[in-house]
Chains A and B, each alone.
Chain A
């Protein structure tokens, strides 16, 4: 699964795609593959504040629970309601199955995140886990 080069990535396996102050957030293809069949996502409501590096929700597969960490700070503007009933969409195409949309507090925060190439290298070094 290629990692889009216009996304930024975290070491906790989230991606963020920003366009000015607006951004969408999801988990990476590698994350969904490690988790396996995803059956449950818990996301904040529109209007909630998220803080870079802090937990903003969780995702569960049959076998495991995993926290979601905010790649950047901001205010949630929209939640992908489809994932409540069809969380398997994340397995099918993790990079288009966005979880939340946010208005970024400071788009400059993104510069500290990983590029697609850095993230791929990070995953390879992590030994696939």
Chain B
């Protein structure tokens, strides 16, 4: 108890400095939590677009971005015929723009595509999808920001399209997108091929055989399972690395704040540490008092950071412009990891101050009254 009380008293002696240190850790934790949660949510949504109930994705090998992937149409037709394939859905991704919205994701799909079949149709119906080449279906949010409804003609890019339906999906990106018949999308984007083929196999045990067959018959293509794709897709890797780097920088700054607080704390109580020494405190016990203070700052900062991070995510969810685009579900594992990182940061920040405290010689420290 006296250990804790000593740590607590030392922190109370310099309240403002302690509060700044706690705030530093809290903002670092909040930043890491927010950035990583938003990006993980976004990645999850994007992966959801690709899979849509499928198990495998086939796309052009060695492309940095799926928008640049070009899968020949004959390949899709051939793969769809394979025994092990339950069904294959060709998808062409593109980006279109309208007057006020420079970036709208466009999905070129067939009427059999699960996105069309499994969506909730708010207006129109899946059966009429692709009846006319200028027909498009809008996601619910796209319809809202384009102020469009079924039966209306709207300009998209350099073309004029007829809205044949409005759908609601479980995915924020899809809800903000435009769905075109595959052939119309190919014409619109001047592409003969596809971006990806999403595959559902008859048996999940055939995944390896499927990948091998794709590699043998179409050396320019690659087949990956959903989880495999999420792990290996370079854009996701960059996003994840960026998120952790931003959070890591935040924590490093928080750690420097803790280090500053702790070293100042040690400097201002050299005499007190000398007294502990005279009373038989070992190096380990002296260091424990410093680490104890640091732990109090880190834990308080981590708790405050979780509250600030959760509040930030809640507010982000309420921002209309972001509605549906960000999945702000906080995962317990991530929260635990962030708190652990904050504690480790606090401990790292206390290393030098603890080392300094351990080297204080009581005879010198007590000489100065």
Do A and B make up one complex? no
Q: Which residues of A are in contact with B by a Cβ distance under 8 Å?
A: none
